[in-house]
Chains A and B, each alone.
Chain A
Amino acid sequence: MARIGIMSFAHMHAYSYAACLDELVEAELIAIWDDNHSRGKKAAKQFNTAFVAELDKFLALDMQGVIVTSENVRHREMVEAAAAAGKWVLCEKPLAPTVADAKAVIAACRHAKVGLGTAFPVRYSIPMMAVRQMLKSGEYGEIYAASCTNNGQFPGGWFAKQALSGGGATMDHTVHAVDALRWMTGREITHVYSENGNLLRHGIDTDDVGSLHLEMEGGIQVSHVASWNRPKSFPTWGDVTFEIVCEKGVIRVDAFNQKISVYNDDAVRAEWAYWGGNPDLGLIQDFVAAVDERREPTVTGVDGLRAVEVTVAAYKSAAAGKMVRI
């Protein structure tokens, strides 16, 4: 039985991870720590676990792993504290808003000899896994180009505050695509061009749209859209899509397009109720197994760093108005 704690419920994914821990018989959510006490207490009540207000006491608990779901800029201090306490860490993406912080997080875990994982649940999406298999099988030949999207509704709150998030939609929604591309092709990203802006949501100090162009090893050309462009009235939270152009054909995947349409007169919008597999569950299951087996999680801190490098380069490119080499 892996004993797991959650540090901060600032990121809404914490609720999904907690629910996954609940679902897994091999794991137990031991306690929650949150600098926002009322949020932490509420979550502890919701998931029927303990709330510990002091970080020292929380990290002194008998547990082997923690999930860090704080604001982006606080990942580093929390992972460092958890690692120093000998806990295995699963860190929400992006691993950090800067390359320096991402590297520090990796170094801290290496130094403490604890496993570090980055939360890229897209790797556990069944349709995405199927597409990766198709590409690996060689049936589609060489990969030439791709265009992907990670669109979402506006998350608001700290996500759109530069001082807490380190960046807007490009920061939030580039890393999943980058990680999935690396995972599916086995190639690294070498160059980035990006245009971004605050064009859709008012009163925020981050970008809410990014249009990226990536070049990968072997000359694979990639277009990506990272955005908070889905309106409140949109029937779901957003999407993760890829069109992959290969020598012998084209693969299109809309990872969450397993849905039923729901029309309810009490709601302000129609709703797409998702019925596919839960990628978060696979992610948490792997982390729990890693904790249990004292191994690195499958999606590592270095994977997180690679995605951070591309995101940071995207902001550099947008500011400089030219393509940036990674």
Chain B
Amino acid sequence: MRVAIIGCGTMGHLHASMAASCGLRIIACGDKYKHSAKVLAEQYSAAASDDSMAVIADPEVDIVAICSPTPTHAGYAIAAAEAGKSIFCEKPFARTVQQCRDAMSAARKAKVKLFVAHVVRYFQEFEAMRAQLAAGKVGKPGFVKLYRGGLFPMGADGWFRDYEESGGVTLDSMIHDIDWLRYTFGDAERVFCQALRRSEPEAIDYSTATFRMKSGVIAKVIGTWAQPGGFRVETEICGDKGMIQFNSDETPIFTMKRTAPGETPSTIVPASPVPKSPYQLEWEEFIAWVRGTRQPRVTARDATEAVRMALAALESAETGKPVKL
């Protein structure tokens, strides 16, 4: 199967390498910046184009991997569906719930497979937490805290800094935890959220949300793009007979490079290598679905719900009122 990468930034590079290590061929790269498309295309001897729609329409392409800025996802997904391609779409699924629905119905109509890459469902530590929960180690869960974040990402043109485009940390990053929350604890009843969304003097976003789940569980979800550096994930699940915690600061490897006198000392770089990257696991599951019938653990409907919940959180942040889901 031959893959086209649409959007050749950080995620485009990552997904190209994951698709390639699954034995797929990257044959075309599309990005509105030709140079970005070229840089990635050269690594795979693929074609480069600044016309992503043309790349999607290429009859040689079997799979379209959408890694472009969020507001462009739905348009590319619909075009790919109409061209009969299988679709791998980076999260968030789309910028609005309507866009999610349009993309889903296009895929349904064209009978193509549409996968949204909620990679946290494939992270080993998150799977381990689900296994412990399922084994009853915390008893009945009552409180969950999920924390994620670090630097404010750049992105081409600094598009993440445009909150209208990216939805800030709430839509772009917290959505990981929002999806996992719903995956693990079911649907939410309502949400209250505070989100900083600052642009001046510097882009800083910090979002804290309380989701009340239909089960009664209270979940505090915190997303940060406020740190001058680093990246951290922290989770806590409390039940009536125990608690599970995870902290990404605790890694098996820390490295720090010696620098020449006078140079800025290098920062400590943590690493936690695993047998298979969660990104590769999601690609494997997606490919198995494309080839056969086995549904992946995350559906386009799940991804739509995650967008709906994240947008509800942003609505709450805007209005200062809890929002019913």
**Residues of A near any B CB (own CB < 8 A):** 144-145, 147, 191, 193, 195-197, 199-202, 208-209, 211, 213, 215, 221-223, 225, 227, 229-231, 233-234, 243, 245, 247, 249-250, 321-323
CB < 8 Å neighbour of B208 from A197, A213, A227, A230? A213
Decide: A144 and B198 in contact? CB cutoff 8 A.
yes
B122 CB, min distance to chain A CBs, angstroms: 27
- Among B222, B226, B240, B243, contact of A223 (Cβ-Cβ < 8 Å): B222
* Contact in complex: A230, B142 (CB < 8 Å): no
Given contacts A199-B217, A221-B196, contact A322 B321 (CB under 8 A): yes
CA distance A222 to B201 in the complex (A): 21
B305 to chain A, nearest CB (A): 20
Residues of B within 8 A of A227 (CB): 143, 238
Smallest CB separation, A142 vs chain B (Å): 9
Query: Can you pick out 7 interface pairs between chain A and chain B where the beta carbons lie within 8 Å of each other?
Result: A144-B206, A147-B222, A209-B143, A213-B208, A229-B238, A247-B201, A323-B192
> Which residues of the partner chain B approach A245 to less than 8 Å between Cβ atoms?
196, 204, 206, 224, 226
Contact A223 B220, beta carbon cutoff 8 Å: yes
Residues of B within 8 A of A229 (CB): 142-143, 236, 238, 243
Min CB–CB distance B188 → chain A (angstroms): 11
> In the complex, what residues of A have CB within 8 A of residue B192's CB?
193, 195, 213, 323
CB neighbours of A215 from chain B (8 A): 194
**Among the interface residues B194, B196, B198, which one has the most CB atoms of the partner chain A within 10 A?**
B194
The 4 closest A-B pairs by CB, nearest first: A199-B142, A223-B208, A229-B238, A221-B194
Contact at A321–B322, with CB atoms within 8 Å? yes
Interface residue? B299 (CB, 8 A): no
In contact, A147 and B142 (Cβ under 8 angstroms): no
CA distance A197 to B321 in the complex (A): 19
How far in angstroms is the closest Cβ of chain B from A217?
15
Contact present for A199 and B243 (CB under 8 Å): no
Is the beta-carbon distance between B243 and A323 smaller than 8 angstroms? Answer: no
Contacts of A231 in B (CB 8 A): 238, 241-243
Shortest beta-carbon distance from A16 to chain B in Å = 25
Report chain B residues within 8 Å CB of A208.
142
Contact B196 A145 (CB under 8 A): yes
A211-B220, A245-B224, A323-B192 given; name 4 further pairs at CB < 8 Å: A199-B218, A208-B142, A211-B219, A249-B228
Known: A145-B206, A250-B226. A225 touches B145 (CB 8 A): yes
B interface list, Cβ under 8 A from A? 142-143, 145, 190, 192-196, 198, 201-202, 204, 206, 208, 210, 212, 216-220, 222, 224, 226-228, 236, 238-243, 320-322
Rounded to whole angstroms, the CA-CA distance of A214 and B143 in the bound complex is 19
Q: A147-B208, A227-B143, A322-B322 are in contact. Are A202 and B196 (CB under 8 A)?
A: no
Instruction: Evaluate contact between B224 and A202: CB separation under 8 angstroms.
Output: no
Q: How would you classify the secondary structure of chain A's contact residues: helix, strand, loop or mixed?
A: strand
The reply to whether B142 and A145 form a contact with Cβ atoms under 8 Å apart is no
The one of B145, B194, B218, B240 that contacts A197, using a Cβ cutoff of 8 Å: B218
Bound Cα distance from A211 to B220, whole angstroms: 7
| A225, B241: Cβ atoms closer than 8 Å | no
Q: Which residue of B lies closest to A223 (CB)?
A: B208
User: Given contacts A225-B220, A245-B204, are A197 and B142 in contact (CB under 8 A)?
Assistant: yes
Instruction: Please measure, in the bound complex, the distance between the C-alpha atom of A86 and the C-alpha atom of B130, giving whole angstroms.
Output: 59
Within the assembled complex, what's the spacing in Å between the Cα atoms of A229 and B193? 22
Kindly provide the distance from the CB of A202 to the nearest chain B CB, expressed in whole angstroms: 7
Q: Which single residue of chain B is at the shortest CB-CB distance from A215?
A: B194
CB of A214 to closest CB in B, whole Å: 9
Query: Of the candidates B193, B222, B228, B240, which one forms a contact with A200 in the assembled complex, judged by CB atoms under 8 Å apart?
Result: B240
How far apart sit A101 and B226, CA to CA, in the bound complex (Å)? 41
Q: Which residues of A contact B321 (CB under 8 A)?
A: 322-323
How far apart are the CA atoms of A322 and B224 in the complex, in Å?
A: 25
- Give the CA-CA distance A51 to B194 in the complex, in Å: 51
Minimum CB distance partner of A225 in chain B: B220
Query: Is B242's CB under 8 angstroms from A233's CB?
Result: yes
User: A132 CB to closest chain B CB, in angstroms?
Assistant: 20
Q: Which residues of A contact B193 (CB under 8 A)?
A: 213
CA distance A211 to B142 in the complex (A): 12
A214 and chain B: residue at smallest CB distance: B194
- Quote the shortest CB–CB distance from B206 to chain A (angstroms): 5
Q: Does the CB pair B194–A199 fall under 8 Å?
A: no
What CA separation (Å) do A234 and B204 show in the bound complex? 35
Q: How far is the CA of A12 from the CA of B192 in the complex (A)?
A: 35
Q: In this complex, which of A202, A225, A249 has the most chain B Cβ atoms within 10 angstroms of its Cβ? A: A225
Task: Decide: A250 near B218, CB < 8 A? Known: A193-B192, A229-B238, A245-B196.
Answer: no
For A222, list chain B residues within 8 Å (CB). Answer: 194
Contact A213 B143 (CB under 8 A): no
Query: Smallest CB-CB separation from A169: which chain B residue?
Result: B143
User: In the complex the two chains form, what is the Cα distance from A247 to B228 in whole Å?
Assistant: 10
Smallest beta-carbon distance B177→chain A, Å: 14
Query: With the chains together, A197 CA to B211 CA distance in Å?
Result: 13
Give A144 to B226 CA distance when docked, in angstroms: 10
B240–A202 CB distance below 8 A: yes
Report the separation of the CA atoms of residues A62 and B242 in the bound assembly, to the nearest whole angstrom: 49
| Residues of chain B with a CB closer than 8 A to A247's CB | 201-202, 204
Closest B residue to A210 by CB, please name it.
B218
Nearest chain-A residue to B324 (Cβ)?
Answer: A321
How distant is the Cα of A247 from the Cα of B226 in the complex, in angstroms?
9
Which of B192, B201, B217 counts the most A-chain CB atoms under 10 A from its CB? B192
Residue on A nearest B242 in the bound complex, by CB: A231
Across-interface contacts of A221 in B (CB, < 8 A): 194-196, 206, 208
Residue in contact with B243 in the complex, picked from A144, A230, A243, A249, CB distance below 8 Å = A230
Report the minimal beta-carbon distance from B238 to chain A, rounded to whole angstroms.
4
Complex contact B210–A213 (CB within 8 A): yes
Asked if B224 and A199 make an inter-chain contact with CB atoms under 8 angstroms apart, the answer reads: no
